Structure 1
Amino acid sequence: MTTDEVENTPAHGVSRRFVLAAGAVGAAGVVVGGLVGGVMGRSSGATRSTSATESVDVAIIGGGVAGAYVADRLAADGRRQPVVFEASHRIGGRLWSQAVPPATGVMAEFGGMRIPPQHQAVLQLAGELGLTTIPFPASTTQSLVRLRGTRLRRGEVERVDQFNYAMPAEIGALSPDELFSMINRSVGITSETSLSGNQSGSWSETLTWRGRSIDELSTLQFLVELLGHDGAQFVRDWTAFEMWATSASTWLGVSNSTGGGSYAQVEGGFDQIPIQLIQRAQRAGAEVRLGEQLLSIERAEDGSVQLDVLSVDTGVTRRVRARAVVLALSAPAMRHVVRSSSMLREAPALTEALDQLVDSQAVKAYLSYDRPWWTDLGIETGRSVSDSVLRQHFYLSSDRSRPALLLAGYAFGDVAADLLAPLVPEASSDSSNELSAASRQGITSVLSEVHGIEVPQPIGAVAQRWSDADDGTVPLWGPGDAPHRRMRAAITPVSGVSLHVCGDALSLNQGWVMGALETASLVLQQGFGVDGI
């Protein structure tokens, strides 16, 4: 993983979700006059500098959900003139949808892919944009669970000790649901505990384990003390999410705040939400620039904000002044900016919040087929889990007469992602995420072992790895101060400067579109007097 400073990154190495900024005009950058949409090509050039200075009203740094939402609302309000700057040539951030022929009617979602029923604001926004939501597959009684050499249907699992984990008898005798209820009770979570749909928040402040706040304990420490090492590993394998380094409250929030109903997905791709927001903002007068990277940000003498910007396409760096700046970036991207900006290095509200984050890698691999072979096993749609390197398997199609799509592997967490990555080395490529014949064969072999049949070779295959290398890791709160206090302090981290921070990284719903929208709404309300969700 690279730790290079932003200013040492060559133009051709700028990642998909890198730090962006107010941009150049003419040859100094890409000014998008037409409505922006999907992926656009990138070019590189030798870095050179220019003394040209440009002034903008509101510079929105980042073209993901948060940046797109702020731009849309400011443009609709009409009192400010937003300019969105995205260092890559794609709108969407960690929402990135791609078709995998010959499968139709369903998209590969490299980043965010579903909406829990608790996130009504996201569902309402999709409807407002004219997008259709459809059911997203969840685990069913016919889904497979293959752990430590034992393969069962989910509906057959009645006791934890049906799998080969060394746990105390009283724990092994519990069903998985009973086990998770016991974990909740151990810290004081009951049926009356209200999380308000948030995976982090004030609800955790009164909860303790052995006299210690669950905000201050790691998930690994908490689960090992409660269940023993094998018990903790069973919980990790059953959920198929590796979250050892996060705070115990974060893990408990993820386990309890969502679900309990049908998940939804956006027909035509989840990235249509930021794309449609950006296009609507452009129609209302917002400007969008692609291919520009923020190198540093400082306070100007006149009270405005001064940004040094690199054009990815030409290698030209220039200075931009903005009356207000909104940083809508991933956590790794924000850290790049902080390291090169003395104003931000001296802003503890932001630096301490970033220091408390645990950045988790993730890898997804999608395969398409001429038919849904899993229906031969009695599986229509749904989610299976295994302790293989693929971890999670989502069956996204069930019509036997049509080509089908499978999320063959979804590994979340640094160790899990590192184990899967060698099987899909193309997933780290900037040029293509198509998988080679060798990668397809490797994934197929694992799928065959997990499902107990000879799985056919796929027709199409793509993968994506989110890592530090592309500033795409998924942030989660680690042990420390209460996340809701960190979030509110970090929204406006520097006094006397119109600088605002949003995005899911410092939210109460990290890894979800809801987190991006809630922090973007706080920025709109507190910084600009504009309503959000």
Structure 2
Amino acid sequence: MTTPIVPDSTAAAPQPPLTMFGPDFPFAYDDFVTAAAGIGSIPEQAHGKRVAVIGAGLSGTLVARELLRMGLKPVVYEADQIGGRMRSVAFDGYPGITAEMGSMRFPPSSTTLFHYLDSMGLKTQPFPNPLSDAAPSTVVDLKGEKHFARSLADLPAVYSEVAEAWNRTLEEQAQATELGDAIRNRDVAAIQRIWGDLVRTHDDTTFYGFLCQSDAFKSFALREIFGQVGFGTGGWDTDFPNSILEILRVVCTAADDHHRGIVGGSSQLPQRLWSTPVDDAAHWPAGTSVQSLHDGGVTRPGVVKLRRTHPGTITITDEAGTIDTFDAAVFTGQGWMLLNTIDTDEKMLPIDHWTAIERTHYMGSSKVFVLVDRPFWKDIDPTTGREVMSMTLTDRMSRGTYLLDFGDDQPGLICLSYTWADDSLKLLPLDPTERMDLMLKSLAEIYPGVDIRSHVIASPVTLSWETERDFMGAFKANLPGHYRYQRRLYTHFMQDRLPAEYRGFFLAGDDVSWTAGWAEGAVQTALNAVWGVMTHFGGHTADGNPGPGDVFDDIAPIDLD
């Protein structure tokens, strides 16, 4: 049930697609990384210098790979496993079938991300979001009423009314078409003008407050349906307390549309960034990979202590008790780790940046998966003539249920439940079997004639990101009034603006990005950090291919102060 921002129908020629170009920092990261000249170099005297990379998720492994390419020696620390929230859980004896406990769907508008997917030889396929072309059918179950649909037109008229209300609200209150056209055409001046006005107007506005300001959503019933079912990936109500700017960034860049999954599991991308040789690297011989630069081919253990030491170096203690010192370090983990699980010297960051980290707001999220003997949901009910089970959106405990088909002669996978925020917290006391039982109870009310349990062939797998010690949440979601905090963290890579005593320690990753929860943001902030480290060692970008820091003053996020 997607509602993409459509291009201007009066345009004389076809317009390019929406990409995640801005809107806060409209830099063409996709063009930057695909330029033949490369993304930069460092002086020969800096070759081989060691840089600590803390965290081996997507951002950390990408930072390490690009630093290696420049001739530096990345030293990667990881407290959990390579991949971070790109965590694919395999089932013994069933190769190729993985449960995506974190990232599982990626919009084609993530063009920089897809560059790295392509370069690592990974394939994608359409992800079966509700009412998408990849989902054979969808069932919407609200307040005990069940509706079967293959498209929005199959649902009762009130759902089309909700969709129209959302489109009208975006147009009237967010200049959706004009902003979308500016992003399509990479018109930086227009993006900065429109988005700047939206930031100034709505920094203090919740998502729910934004809806309430619209005449189209005067009806509470429409707001309730929109919250419970939503568009694209499902209901929006768990996002209602968050800043509307968070939502506008998603819809104006098509981040919630036409999703694709990574064949074989999303964790393959960070794993390949770690293990695949970089044959065009400066200084290092052909065949060198990030992994090959590490003793035993494994990351160092998690970091437990960070401090600044003379002269301008950064000293790290890891879980094994090893102490090592570096000329620079990049931190790609969840920011809250710097407050609690890592004993961090306050001199690592300016006080305003510490304030921004302390104000971080994370969304909790839980998933429950079961492996089944076959994609039985495609069986046809002789009474109704429809599939016996569908992609499901409901106000019951399961909220969102996804059916993943690996072929008629292969086992199938069901994400019984995908929940957020308060809905995720409701599951915390329950073990995997209890969670499965609860979701099967919900689904039995929707599909009373379907015995899902009889098809289950492996123990359920589940994860709640808010209880993971090294994450403490699924991803960041700014609350109203948080724009200034986000700006401080995102722009931290511009360290010539910082006092000298705070330089050399760089922030990157999902926390720092403007589009937390979308892998493209982790990629973009990784490239910012790479540019920052390169500059820290006296390097520069190639002629004709300026980096994000080279053009920063021209396209910097607006400063509300």
Q: TM-score range by the shorter chain?
A: 0.7 to 0.9
Asked if the contact 2:250–2:256 (Cα under 8 Å) also holds between the matched residues in 1, the reply is: no
1:391 Cα deviation (Å)? 1.1
Once the 2 structures are TM-superposed, how far is the Cα of residue 286 of structure 1 from its aligned partner? 3.2
* 1:277 aligned to which of 259, 273, 284: 273
**Residue of structure 2 in register with 1:362 after alignment:** 365
- CA distance, structure 1, for counterparts of residue 528 and residue 369 of structure 2: 36
* RMSD between aligned residues: 3.2
User: Is the 2:139–2:390 contact (alpha carbons within 8 Å) kept by the matching residues of 1?
Assistant: no
Residue 148 (structure 1) aligned with residue 143 (structure 2):
yes
Specify the alignment match of 2:329 in structure 1. 325
Deviation string 1:350-369 (CA, Å, 9 cap, x unpaired) is 22432443201100111111
Correspondence for 1:347: 351
Q: Which amino acid aligns with 1:60?
A: V
Name the CA distance, whole Å, in 2 between partners of 1:455 and 1:421.
Answer: 26
2:211 alignment partner in structure 1 = 223
2:260 to 264, 267, 274: 264
> Which digits, 9 at most, give the CA deviation of each residue in 1:325-371, with x for residues without a partner?
100112332333787422146431x2243244320110011111112
Q: How far apart in 1 are the matches of 2:485 and 2:195?
A: 9
1: CA distance between counterparts of 2:155 and 2:379?
27
In the other structure, the counterpart of 1:445 is 441
Q: Secondary structure at the match of 2:163?
A: helix
The 3-state SS of whatever aligns with 1:207 is helix
Q: 2:314 and 2:92 mapped to 1: Cα distance?
A: 46
Q: Residues 261 and 193 (structure 1 numbering): CA distance in 2 closer, same or farther, change over 3 Å?
A: same
Match of 1:75 among 61, 65, 68: 68
Once the two structures are TM-superposed, the CA of residue 99 in structure 1 deviates from its matched residue by 2.2
* Aligned pair partner of 1:406 in 406, 414, 425: 414
Partner Cα distance (1:173, 1:459) in 2: 37
CA distance 1:278–1:179, change in 2 (3 Å): same
- 1:499 and 2:505 correspond: yes
C-alpha deviations, 1:370-397, integer Å up to 9, x for none? 1222213545997431111111111111
Give the letter aligned to residue 466 of structure 2.
S
Residue 106 of structure 1 pairs with residue 85 of structure 2 = no
Aligned residues between the structures:
445
Q: Deviations over 1:52-75 (max 9, x none)?
A: xxx972111111111100111111
Amino acid at match of 1:335: L
Q: Which amino acid letter does the alignment assign opposite residue 206 of structure 2?
A: S
Name which of 159, 162, 167 aligns with 1:176.
162
1:372 maps to which of 375, 378, 384 = 375
Deviation, structure 1 residue 530: 7.2
Show the counterpart of 1:479: 480
C-alpha displacement at 1:186, in angstroms?
3.6
Measure how far apart 1:451 and its partner are: 3.2
Aligned counterpart, 1:16: none
From the superposition, tell whether residues 485 and 260 of structure 1 become closer, same or farther in structure 2 (CA, over 3 Å): closer
| Greater mean deviation of Cα atoms: 127-136 or 254-263 | 254-263
TM-score (norm 2): 0.71
Q: In structure 2, what residue type is equivalent to 1:305?
A: I
Looking at structure 2, the residues matched to 77 and 526 of structure 1 have their Cα atoms a distance apart, in angstroms, of 13
Equivalent residue number for residue 517 of structure 1: 523
Residue matched to 1:251: 247
The one-character-per-residue Cα deviations of 1:203-260 (angstroms, maximum 9, x if unpaired) are 533127xxx7222212233334543655433222113241133211112323443258
User: In structure 2, what is the Cα distance between the partners aligned to 1:258 and 1:126?
Assistant: 19
Q: For 2:258 and 2:389, how far apart are their aligned partners in 1?
A: 13
Q: Distance in 2 between matches of 1:238 and 1:103?
A: 33
3-state SS in 2 of match to 1:274? helix
Please state whether the residue corresponding to 2:114 is helix, strand or coil.
Answer: helix
Task: Mark the CA change 1:357 to 1:467 in structure 2 (over 3 Å): closer, same or farther.
Answer: same
Residue 401 of structure 2 contacts residue 418 of structure 2 at CA under 8 Å; is this kept in 1?
yes
- More strand per residue: 1
Q: Among residues 283, 287, 293, which one is paired with 1:286 in the alignment? A: 293
SS of residue in 2 equivalent to 1:364: strand
Residues 385 and 274 of structure 1, relative CA distance in 2, 3 Å threshold: same
SS at match of 1:151: strand
Distance 1:59 1:379, change over 3 A: farther
> Are the aligned partners of 1:59 and 1:85 in contact in 2 as well (CA < 8 Å)?
yes
Q: Identify the residue that residue 559 of structure 2 maps to in structure 1.
A: none
Q: Specify the alignment match of 1:214 in structure 2.
A: 202
TM-superposed deviation, 1:296: 3.3
1:129 equivalent in alignment to 2:135 = no
- Structure 2 alignment gaps of length 5 or more: 1-47, 278-287, 381-385, 542-546, 549-561
Residue type of the alignment partner of 1:57 = R
Q: Percent identity?
A: 21
Q: TM-score scaled to structure 1, two decimals?
A: 0.75
**1:343–1:113 Cα change, 3 Å:** same
SS in 2 for 1:343: helix
In the alignment, is the contact (CA less than 8 A) between 2:246 and 2:515 conserved in 1?
no
With over 3 angstroms needed to count, the CA separation of the structure-2 counterparts of 1:62 and 1:156, relative to structure 1, is closer
Contact 2:211 2:223 in 1 (8 A): yes
Q: Is the 8 A contact 2:490 2:514 kept in 1?
A: no
Q: CA–CA distance in 1 between the matches of 2:461 and 2:427?
A: 14
Q: Larger deviation: 123-132 or 372-381?
A: 372-381
Bigger Cα displacement from structure 2, 388-397 vs 147-156: 147-156
Partner of 2:56, secondary structure, is coil
- What is the alpha-carbon distance in structure 2 between the residues aligned to residue 186 and residue 158 of structure 1? 24
In 2, distance between residues paired with 1:518 and 1:341?
27
Cα deviation for residue 277 of structure 1 reads 0.7
CA distance in 1 between partners of 2:447 and 2:251 (Å):
26
Q: Does the 8 A contact of 1:77 with 1:530 survive in 2?
A: no
CA 1:187 to 1:286, structure 2 compared with 1: closer, same or farther past 3 Å? farther
In the alignment, which residue of structure 1 is the partner of 2:50?
Answer: 57
